Amino acid sequence: MDFEKLYAEAMKVAANAYAPYSNFRVGAALLLPDGEIQTGVNVENRSFGATNCAERTAVFAAVARGYRTFSAIAIATPDADYPVSPCGICRQVLSEFAPAETPVIFGNKWENVVKTTLGELYPYDALHELAK
């Protein structure tokens, strides 16, 4: 799996984020089981509760295309000074569609990227625990 390519897609799409309030652009790239890449960006709103994160945008777009799982995700935060991990809501949504061993790559630039797994980000995943 070419994590650098996946991360580059996330960084590229971050330029399309709609972030007029925070000026904090985020891009996400999901690696789908067939090798396709689905991207997403954060889309802000004056009512921050109506804002959608890049990770969820990518997942929702993939679901709309018929996918129900993904193989990895890369998240790029080019306006940050350090790697920023997915928020709690995004961790919950990601865990709905991928197992704990799914790779998660995030960072503000490739040289600072953090490589982890969904299970390390979200260790107490009630959804999958209840399914056992």
* Backbone dihedral angles phi then psi of residue 69, each to the nearest 5 degrees: -155, 170
Helix axis angle, 3-14 to 54-64, nearest 10°: 100
List phi, psi (to 5°) of 27. -125, 145
pTM: 0.93
- Per-residue model confidence as pLDDT tens digits over 14-55: 999 999 999 999 999 999 999 999 999 999 999 888 899 999
For residue 15, give both structure tokens. 């330029």
Rounded-to-integer distance, Cα 71 and Cα 110, Å: 20
User: Per-residue pLDDT averaged across 125-129, rounded?
Assistant: 63
Question: What pLDDT score does 33 carry?
Answer: 96
By annotation, the residues acting in catalysis are 55
Query: What is the Cα–Cα distance from 129 to 1, expressed in whole angstroms?
Result: 28
CB of 76 within 8 A of CB of 26? yes
H or E element in which residue 76 lies: strand 72-76
**What would the mean pLDDT of 111-122 be, rounded to a whole number?**
95
